[in-house]
Amino acid sequence: MEESKIISNTRVVIIGGSAGSLNALLQILPDLPLFTSFALVIVLHRRGTDDLTLEGLITLKAQTEVKLIEDKVQLMPGFIYVAPSNYHLLFEKDDFFALDISEKVNYSRPSIDVSFESASEVYGPNLVGILLSGSNTDGTEGLKAIQNAGGIIVIQDPKSAEMPYMPSNAILNTTPDYILSTEDILKFLISIDK
């Protein structure tokens, strides 16, 4: 008998991005009020260093508390989590994170596809995937996995993206639930905190 998929009841919003996506986040996070009904996980392409500059910047700009991700740390609603550099971010049953140092995917570690696909297996219809600005194809396959698992996919409108290639590729190869400007992504996030 095949083991049924383990789906968590925790609601998760996972945001992926590459070049230009930090600017989009810095337009969204300062105006995003404290939220309690979901966890927000950010997976950005970043240099393979150990510094916490990105986490520090997001901590300064966001109203919601940022928690560091370490292997086997448990995800909880009401917090922002940022994928560390040089690891793929995975999701396990019972809402635990796992860090993986396997080969780069789409020239990146963390890879957006890897994190989106892993999250889709655990959170299914309780997952929202948002893809921001970037200059390669990472994220498209992950968005497909989220949608196939019953989740919602949101893509930044390429017209509002600093680097439109990544969202444009995703729009061409998926059926997005929403294509939104950064301002409308903010409104969407506020609207789902119920």
Whole-angstrom distance, CA of residue 114 vs CA of residue 156 = 19
18 is catalytic: yes
Nearest to 96 by CA among 118, 126, 116: 118
Catalytic residue among 45, 88, 108, 113: 45
Compute the Cα dihedral for 15, 92, 105, 109 and give only its sign. positive
| Phi, psi angle pair for 157, to nearest 5° | -60, 120
Catalytic residue (one of 133, 138, 157, 160): 138
Among the listed residues 18, 21, 111, 133, the single catalytic one is: 18
Alpha carbons 194 and 11: distance in angstroms, whole number? 11
**Is residue 58 packed enough to be buried (19+ CB in 10 Å), middle (13-18) or exposed (0-12)?**
buried
The residues that are catalytic are 18, 45, 138
